[in-house]
């Protein structure tokens, strides 16, 4: 694998292979010394043009646990704030000998431009681009589901027949899109539940069941997994719902809806959470919640991705 830009491009066997490698990486995290020498001498650049805590830190920890050298690049306070283009930034990193670039950008498609431009000969990982995709988040979500559902027998397994309900701001969510493509590849059935104003144009052509009433959807589908999405107010330039109180009442996972779920249902959230808006504190902190597991599993998945991209001879794979 040379780049990871989208889950839509992943074949079933490649996706399962990454999840299985992540199983190996998760075992490393249980050791006293949580390090492997695999990427010693390699340089990974975290190129973040948007604010991030979880994703950037997770990639940094993942690279360091594989013994790579890590450079954290933030657009704020850099030459980008002075008008430097993505091309000039990429060529600067290439001159410094970057082997891998983890990029988050507000413009959809920026990682693909970087990967295909020829500006830099490095593996490119999409850490979130606009409202397009966030592939490592989808991989860690699938990894978390697989572990919860299959337990110790998870290795080599897919998610065939698993029912996943994704609720909330689908319109602005790159997580929802990446999860849809990956879960569909792994055999799961996906349902979107959202206000009509927060459903993307053209979503009716996607391999997903779209619903607008959360209570009816929960009662009829009885999902194995309920994934709540954050309301991305920073991306909203219009009123997509009357008030936050109205949204919480109609589409939030409150205590009453939590109790209505099957006892073995899984509650997920990609974070950061708006407690009391899309999810109640009781739901977020319940035994059914995987929020903390998702953070831990994110390191394992990102170790697996960096290992797959950067270990071995890049020339032989290019």
Residue 185: CB atoms within 10 Å: 23
> CA 259, CA 139: separation in Å to the nearest integer?
28
Is 174 labeled as ligand-binding? Answer: yes
| 244 known member of a binding site | no
Q: Is 54 annotated as a binding residue?
A: yes
The rounded distance, in Å, linking the Cα atoms of 268 and 278 is 11
Phi, psi (deg, nearest 5) at residue 237? -115, 20
The annotation status of 82 as a binding-site residue, yes or no, is yes
How many whole angstroms separate alpha carbon 224 and alpha carbon 24?
26
Contacts 24+ apart (CB under 8 A), 214-220: 214/167, 214/250, 214/251, 214/257, 215/257, 217/165, 217/191, 217/193, 218/165, 218/257, 218/260, 218/261, 219/260
223 is in an annotated binding site: no
Q: Please, what's the b/e burial string for 81-100 (b: 16 or more CB within 10 A of its CB; e: otherwise)?
A: eeeeebeebbebbeeeebbb
Q: Does residue 232 have a known ligand-binding role? A: no
Instruction: Say if residue 191 carries a ligand binding annotation.
Output: no
Residues 6+ apart with CB under 8 A from 313: none
Q: How far apart are CA 49 and CA 66, in angstroms?
A: 24
Q: Is there a binding annotation on residue 55?
A: yes
**148 in a known ligand binding site:** no
Tokens 């450079």 belong to 71
Omega of the bond prior to 237 within 30 degrees of 0, cis?
Answer: no
Residue 77, token pair as written in the block: 């306070």
- Tell me whether residue 222 is annotated as binding: no
Q: Please give the annotated binding residues for L-aspartate, written as ranges.
A: 82, 174, 230
Q: Please give the annotated binding residues, written as ranges.
A: 54-55, 82, 104, 134, 137, 174, 230, 271-272
Q: Please give the annotated binding residues for carbamoyl phosphate, written as ranges.
A: 54-55, 104, 134, 137, 271-272
């Amino acid at each position: 694998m040379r780049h990871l830009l989208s889950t839509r491009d992943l074949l079933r066997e490649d996706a399962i292979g990454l999840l299985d490698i992540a199983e190996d990486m998760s075992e490393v995290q249980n050791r006293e010394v949580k390090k492997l020498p695999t990427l010693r001498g390699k340089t990974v650049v975290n190129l973040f043009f948007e604010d991030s805590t979880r994703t950037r830190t997770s990639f940094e920890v993942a690279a360091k646990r594989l013994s790579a050298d890590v450079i954290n690049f933030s657009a704020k306070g850099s030459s980008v704030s002075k008008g430097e283009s993505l091309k000039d930034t990429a060529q600067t990193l290439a001159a410094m000998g970057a082997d891998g670039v983890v990029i988050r950008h507000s413009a959809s498609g920026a990682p693909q431009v970087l990967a295909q431009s020829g500006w830099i000969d490095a593996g490119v990982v999409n850490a979130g681009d606009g409202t397009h995709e966030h592939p490592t988040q989808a991989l860690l979500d699938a990894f978390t589901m697989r572990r919860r559902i299959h337990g110790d027998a998870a290795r080599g397994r897919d998610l065939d027949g698993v029912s996943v309900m994704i609720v909330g701001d689908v319109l602005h969510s790159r997580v929802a899109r990446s999860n849809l493509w990956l879960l569909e590849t792994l055999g799961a059935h996906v349902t979107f539940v959202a206000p009509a104003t927060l459903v993307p144009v053209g979503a009716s052509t996607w391999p997903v069941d779209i619903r607008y009433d959360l209570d009816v959807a929960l009662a009829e589908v009885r999902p194995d997994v309920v994934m709540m999405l954050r309301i991305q107010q920073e991306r909203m330039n219009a009123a997509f719902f009357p008030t936050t109180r109205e949204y919480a009442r109609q589409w939030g996972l409150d205590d009453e809806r939590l109790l209505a779920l099957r006892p073995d249902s899984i509650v997920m959230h990609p974070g950061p959470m708006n407690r009391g808006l899309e999810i109640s504190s009781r739901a977020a902190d319940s035994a059914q919640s995987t929020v903390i597991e998702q953070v831990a599993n994110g390191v394992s998945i990102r170790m697996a991705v960096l290992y797959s991209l950067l270990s071995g001879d890049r020339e032989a794979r290019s």
